[in-house]
Structures are given as C-alpha cells and as structure tokens.
Structure 1
Amino acid sequence: MDFDITWMLLGLPIAFALGWLASRLDLRQLKIENRQAPKAYFRGLNFLLNEQQDQAIDAFIEAVQNDPDTSELHFALGNLFRRRGEYERAVRVHEHLLARGDLDKPERDRAQHALALDFLKAGLLDRAEAALRKLEGTHYEEEARLSLLAIYERSSDWAHASEIAVKLGSDNNNSGSFSTRQAHYLCEQSSVMLAAGDTDKAMQSLRLASALAPASPRPLIEQAKLLQQSGQSQAAFESLLALDKFAPQALPLAAELLVNIAQKPELLMPVQTLLKAHYARRPSVDVMQAIARLSPDKATGQQCYLTHLEQEPSLVAATKWIAGEEWNDPDRYKLVQQALDKATVPLMRYRCAACGFEATQHFWHCPGCQAWDSYPASRIEEL
C-alpha cells in the first residue's frame, strides 16, 4: 500500500487546530478558577482588616476549596482558627498541611511550627513539647527552644530546663546569656534535694550555681541558709560577705539570716559592722530593723528608727519607733498601734517590676508573670 502524503498534509492542520482549541479551553478554565480564588482571598482579607473574623474564615474556606493546593491560604486559615480559640480546627488545618507530599522543607517546618503553637495555646503541653522537639535544626529552632524552656518552667521540670538553657547559652544567637537562669534552675533542684534529705548534693548544686553566675544573689543566700542550718555560722557569714561584694542590692533579703548568725557571740561584731556599712551605702528598712534588733539596749535600738526617719519619711520606721515607746494612756496607744500596724502591712510587701504582682514574701520567680528576678529586694515603701 502506497503512503499518501495528502492525508498527512491535511492531518497536521487539523491536529494543530484541535490542540489550540484544547489549550484555549484549559486556559479559560484556569483563568476562571484563578479569578475565583483571589476574589475569595481578597474578600477574606477585607473582612480580616475590618475585624470580621467569622466572615473572613468563611471566605478563606471558600478560597481553599477553589484552590486546595495553596499552602498560604491554609496557614491564614489555621492562624485565624488559633486566634479565635478554635484550636482543634487549627490543628486539623496544620496537620493536613504536614500530610501533603508536595510541601518543600521550609513550608513543612513552618507548618510544624504552627502546629506546635496550636498545642501551646490549647494547653496541651505534652503534644506541644513533641512538636517543638521536631523543630531542632530548623529556622525555628531558637524560638522552639524558648517555648520548651517555658513549658519546663511551668511544669517545674528543672533538669530539662537546664538542658535547654545550656543549648540556648551555647548558641550564637540574640537570646542573651542564660547563666543566671541556669543558676536558678540549680537552686530549684537544690531545694528538691534538700526536701529529700540529701544535704550534700543540695550544697553541690548551690556551689555550681554560684560558679555559673557569681553575681547572682540567690545561690549565695541559699548557701548561707543551708550552712547556718548545718551549724556552720562562720561559713554562712562568709557567704553573705560575698553577697555584699557581688550583689549588695540583695543584702536586705538576708537581714533576718544575719540576725540569726549574730547569735554566735564571736560573730556579733562582724555582723553589726557589715550591716552598718551596708546601711550607710544603701539605707533599707530590713537592714535598719536588723541593726535595731542587734543593738545592745532598747534606747540604741529606738535611735535607729529615728535615724532612718531623719534620712527619709517612713511609716514603717515611725510605727516601729512608736511601738518601742512608753505612753501614759495604754488603751489609746493600743488602738493607735493597731491602726499603724494595719497601715504598714501593704508597705512591707514586695512588688514584681514586670507585672505588678504583690506578695508578702520575696519571689525569685514571679508566680504572676513567670519572670525571673523581677522582684526588687526593696519593700514597696522604698520603691
């Protein structure tokens, strides 16, 4: 059979025409879909800018249905769900993203980070921890470690918190030094060991904390307390001498402890010398009271309060002075004293500089905002 070239000449134009027609149909369909998706997307953005989150979510869901392969729409939708507190729906969106096989590594890491945030906001700390651990070695590594640190602090898992703090401190990042934070973790672990009766390990942790952060007052104060409890008053006093050298602003926190140390006759004069020298540099209500309590007689102690009042007005000092005076009318004096004692209670509290949380005791870790070292060593009256 002879090959007829005529059919080829006729077939080529026909094939070209059919191909062109098919491409035009596909292009038209693609344009329709692309017009629909951006329209819904921009409508969602408009709702979002007007703080109409319900309508924005509906618009983004429509956009995702029109173009299910667009990861940005999924991220926008998931973030909206999280902001509204619909954590279960946010988790589903981000888990759907992670299940896709066409995501590149940066997008996958982003989805993993978003999923971890969903779990954190929902309070599912165990699942958040697992999700954050998967971000090691990614662009979100530092942020993930900071979140892990917050989780371990909330759960009082000080061993794991120390591990993360070491990693953060060893990295070349902008997070700053974590040596003081590590010292706090060691002090917390020391308290646990002390409660279990392991005094030696508790002291080892405190010494390691002092070595890590020599200017941190907490390890020195905790060491002095433990040494005093063990009957080593001289060593306790030396620890507080170091406190006055490296962190003098915190010495008022150890004023009561110094009074106890001074019960040893051979340490009375050194303690008084330390307290008076510190008070001359930094007048403080707590140090003033300690000096008054260690005074050789009542008159000398009363003079301490008057000296303080000469330097600055203090209701606490005035109340202490009045309490030590003798009055002709005991009944009326008692009423006045009760009123003054009640008025000074709020003034003797400590206040967190970060959130304003007030407490009758000094905290190294604020129970309100979870900040470290946010409580000044001064009472509210002195701020």
Structure 2
Amino acid sequence: MISIENHWLVVLPILFGLGWVASNWERRLQNEVDHEEQKKKQKSTFKGLNLLLNEQPDKAIDALVEVVQLDPETTELHFALGSLFRRRGETERAIRIHQHLVGRSDLRIRDRNHAAYELGRDFLRAGMLDRAEASLNQVGEGGFNVPAKIALLEMYQIEKDWRKAIIAANELQTIENKNYQEQIAHFYCELALEAIRRKDFHAAEEAVNQSLATVDSHIRAITIKGELMMLAGRPKEAITVWSEIEKYHPSYLHLVADRWMIAHTEMGQELVGLQRLKEQMKEQARGELLDIVYRNCLKLEGTSAAEHLMSEIMLTNPSLVAMTKRMESQWLLAKEANNDSLSADIKASLDLLKLRTSTLVRYTCSNCGFRARRFYWQCPGCNHWDVYSPKRGEGMSLSN
C-alpha cells in the first residue's frame, strides 16, 4: 500500500489551484487580445464605410485594406467594393482594390482567380486591353474560368482580333458545352472582309469557305462569296451563288439586290434580273428590296410601269412606304404630262409622307432595342450577333 506523506496533502491542492488560476489568466488575456483585434477590425470597417459615405473613397480603400489584413475573410467586402467602383465608372479605384487582392499570397486559389477575373474586367472597362487580356488569362480552372473566357471573347471582338475570337469561342464550346458556331461563322466573314479590303482575294475565299464549313449555307458568307465572284469578273457565278438566298432566304435578298442588278446588267440581262426581284414582291414588298425594285423599275421600264407596280403592291401588301413610292411615281407622271397644278398638289402630300416615313423606317435590335437605318449583322448597341430582323420596320401598316 502506497503511503503519502502528510505535507503532500497540503501541497497538491495548492499546485492544482495555481494551475487553474494560470489557465484562466491565460484565457482571459487571449480573450482581451481577441477583443482588441475585433474592436480594431470593427473600427477600421466603420471608418472605411464612414469615409466612403463622406465621398472619400481613397481613404476608405486604405481603411478597408487594413480590415483585410486583419481578417482574410473580409475579401468578399472588397470584391463588393471593387464592383461598386467599377459600376460607378471609378475604374482606377476598382483596379487598386483588385490588384491588392491579386498580390496577396495567402488568398485561396478560388479568391485569387476571382480577383484576377475582376481585375481583367476593370482593365477592360478602362480600355487597357493588353493588361485585361493578361489578367484574364491568369484565371485558372474553377467557377471564374468560363466568365473569364467570355470576357476575353468580348474583348477580342472589340479589338477586332477575329482569329483570337475564333480560338476563344472554340474553347468556350468545349468548356461550356454551348454552341458558338454562328458567331464563329461571322468571325470568318469578318476575316474575309478584311482580306477583301487589302485585296487578298485568296485569303478572303479561304475565310468564306471556313465560314460555310462552320455553318452550312450561312447567309452572310453566301453574300460575300457572291461578291468575290463579282470582283473576279464572274457575274454569272455570282448570280448562281446569290440564287441560294433568292430561293431559301428571300427576306435577306435586299442585301445583294443592288449587286444582283449590276451582275445581270453586265450579262445584258437586267430585265431578267429585275423580273426575278419583282416576283419576290408578293412576299417581300417592304424595306430596302421595295426601294431597289422601284428604283430599277423606274429606270428600266419607265414611270407608268413603276406606278402600276406600286398600285398592285398597295392592293396586296399596303404600307406607308409603298404609298409614298406610288405617290412619287404619280407626281413624276404629272410632271411628264406638264400638269403643273396636279404636280403641285401631289408634291405637297408626297413631302408630308416622306417626312413621316423617314422617321419610321428602321431596323430594330431584338436584344437591346437599338434602332438603325441600315442592317447590321452585329448590333452596334449591345454587340450581339444576328439580332436584327432582315425585315425593316416600315412604320404603320395599312392592311388593317
């Protein structure tokens, strides 16, 4: 049996008591330190918000950066602040915040990718495209990879770097499992137009063929392919190419109608070309095609034929524009007959109609509502592709 001396019965409780006191004292000191750090973080946060509210954003950023240094979990606050500055157009301040985050080595990979993505958007907003590209290319795998690629695709279109745009769109197709074929076909068409401007017709033909290989019977590629035939002095082949639009996509025929008539004229078949366009008036008697047919009918067949055509259209597909053309031909007939009184009466009504229709005739973007006098493949307002209907708004229809 173990024997314990009597003095240990007194010493042991004292030792346990001292240990308990020391432990509690250490815990109390730690709590006081944590409390002081928390007060410091709260003070910096409130100081930053107060400076922000008092229109001192530079000092606010310094205060909030101090919060991040004290507590890495506040990075979301900085992302929100950076986005706020970018939306307000204060891109320099947004860049400063996101550069600070990108430069931190203790951030999680996801947060670093997020910061690189936001920094790329800042540079893109500021027009610093080279730096935007470098930052967006730093974004690794994860939730911000696709948004970064989308931003790069947007940037390449702004720069008109169509080759890089094709690469980015193909990468997005693989990553996002989304179809970008229509856009890629347009990018090849842009390359073809660039080649035509520098008179590199071989490169233009290759780009057009790539576009058609990407999207079979791509309408824009067909229009450019016919134009290449015309530039090569082969109007018959151009007509054959454009006949595909006439047959399968007649609503886009106005895009090549002028060149169509030139091609037929070069072959001595302008009346044949006009007749084929007039046949489309049963379904397409609006927009630019109506303008082109009327103008060529007036030139090739005379005023009476033009007036008769417009009268027929008013019976089958009436509109303010068709009415204007009909009245214009009647005014010309009155002038030819030297009927000054009738000519003056018609001219007064004609001027009023022209004023009315000139403000109504527009193409309208189905995505952002941007209105334009000419047809665009890519909307100048929102940069989306294929958002303009080929049918130009003619204003108020008279069919009801």
Aligned-partner Cα distance in 2 for 1:118–1:300: 61
Aligned-partner Cα distance in 2 for 1:224–1:38: 69
Question: Does the aligned pair in 2 maintain the 1:348–1:380 contact within 8 Å?
Answer: yes
Question: Does the aligned pair in 2 maintain the 1:353–1:375 contact within 8 Å?
Answer: yes
Question: Does the aligned pair in 2 maintain the 1:206–1:219 contact within 8 Å?
Answer: yes
Provide the residue aligned with 1:144 in structure 2: 148
Aligned-partner Cα distance in 2 for 1:154–1:62: 33
Provide the residue aligned with 1:190 in structure 2: 192
Aligned-partner Cα distance in 1 for 2:244–2:217: 9
Q: How does 1:177-256 map to 2 (within 5 A)?
A: 177-256=179-258
Question: Does the aligned pair in 2 maintain the 1:64–1:74 contact within 8 Å?
Answer: no
Seen in structure 2, the aligned counterparts of structure 1 residues 99 and 19 have a Cα distance that, compared at 3 Å, is farther
Provide the residue aligned with 1:159 in structure 2: 163
Residues matched between the structures, number: 374
Shift of 1:13: 4.8
Seen in structure 2, the aligned counterparts of structure 1 residues 290 and 94 have a Cα distance that, compared at 3 Å, is closer
Q: 1:105-137, CA deviations, whole angstroms, 9 ceiling, x for partnerless residues?
A: 112212222222222233322211111011143
Q: Which amino acid aligns with 1:315?
A: L
Aligned-partner Cα distance in 2 for 1:8–1:126: 76
Counterpart secondary structure, 1:263? helix
Do structure 1's residue 34 and structure 2's residue 38 form an aligned pair? Answer: yes
Structure 2 length as normaliser, TM-score?
Answer: 0.79
Do structure 1's residue 360 and structure 2's residue 373 form an aligned pair? Answer: yes
Shifted more, 23-32 versus 137-146: the winner is 23-32
Aligned-partner Cα distance in 2 for 1:207–1:17: 86
Structure 1 length as normaliser, TM-score?
Answer: 0.82
Shifted more, 310-319 versus 273-282: the winner is 273-282
Q: Which amino acid aligns with 1:112?
A: A
Aligned-partner Cα distance in 2 for 1:223–1:66: 60
Aligned-partner Cα distance in 2 for 1:155–1:200: 24
Give structure 2 stretches of 5+ with no counterpart: 1-6
Seen in structure 2, the aligned counterparts of structure 1 residues 101 and 187 have a Cα distance that, compared at 3 Å, is same
Aligned-partner Cα distance in 2 for 1:198–1:151: 26
Aligned-partner Cα distance in 2 for 1:80–1:290: 51
Shifted more, 336-345 versus 201-210: the winner is 336-345
Counterpart secondary structure, 2:100? helix
Shifted more, 143-152 versus 83-92: the winner is 83-92
Provide the residue aligned with 1:259 in structure 2: 261
Seen in structure 2, the aligned counterparts of structure 1 residues 65 and 258 have a Cα distance that, compared at 3 Å, is closer
Question: Does the aligned pair in 2 maintain the 1:351–1:359 contact within 8 Å?
Answer: yes
Question: Does the aligned pair in 2 maintain the 1:53–1:80 contact within 8 Å?
Answer: no
Cα RMSD for the two superposed structures: 3.6
Provide the residue aligned with 1:76 in structure 2: 80
Provide the residue aligned with 1:312 in structure 2: 317
Seen in structure 2, the aligned counterparts of structure 1 residues 25 and 245 have a Cα distance that, compared at 3 Å, is farther
Counterpart of 2:304 (choices 295, 299, 303) is: 299
Aligned-partner Cα distance in 1 for 2:136–2:11: 64
Shifted more, 273-282 versus 178-187: the winner is 273-282
Provide the residue aligned with 1:67 in structure 2: 70
Shifted more, 161-170 versus 315-324: the winner is 315-324
Q: How does 1:44-193 map to 2 (within 5 A)?
A: 54=55, 58=60, 61=64, 64=67, 67-70=70-73, 71-173=75-177, 176-193=178-195
Provide the residue aligned with 1:20 in structure 2: 24
Aligned-partner Cα distance in 2 for 1:125–1:110: 18
Q: 1:51-76, CA deviations, whole angstroms, 9 ceiling, x for partnerless residues?
A: 95859995973981783433333333
Question: Does the aligned pair in 1 maintain the 2:47–2:60 contact within 8 Å?
Answer: no
Seen in structure 2, the aligned counterparts of structure 1 residues 291 and 124 have a Cα distance that, compared at 3 Å, is closer
Do structure 1's residue 373 and structure 2's residue 386 form an aligned pair? Answer: yes
Q: Which amino acid aligns with 2:216?
A: P
Question: Does the aligned pair in 2 maintain the 1:322–1:337 contact within 8 Å?
Answer: yes
Shifted more, 66-75 versus 191-200: the winner is 66-75
Seen in structure 2, the aligned counterparts of structure 1 residues 44 and 274 have a Cα distance that, compared at 3 Å, is farther
Q: How does 1:324-363 map to 2 (within 5 A)?
A: 324-325=329-330, 326-327=333-334, 328-329=339-340, 332=344, 333-334=346-347, 336-363=349-376
Aligned-partner Cα distance in 2 for 1:66–1:177: 43
Counterpart secondary structure, 1:262? helix
Seen in structure 2, the aligned counterparts of structure 1 residues 246 and 121 have a Cα distance that, compared at 3 Å, is same
Question: Does the aligned pair in 2 maintain the 1:347–1:379 contact within 8 Å?
Answer: no
Shifted more, 190-199 versus 264-273: the winner is 264-273
Seen in structure 2, the aligned counterparts of structure 1 residues 132 and 246 have a Cα distance that, compared at 3 Å, is farther
Aligned-partner Cα distance in 1 for 2:231–2:293: 22
Q: 1:292-313, CA deviations, whole angstroms, 9 ceiling, x for partnerless residues?
A: 5357554333221111111233
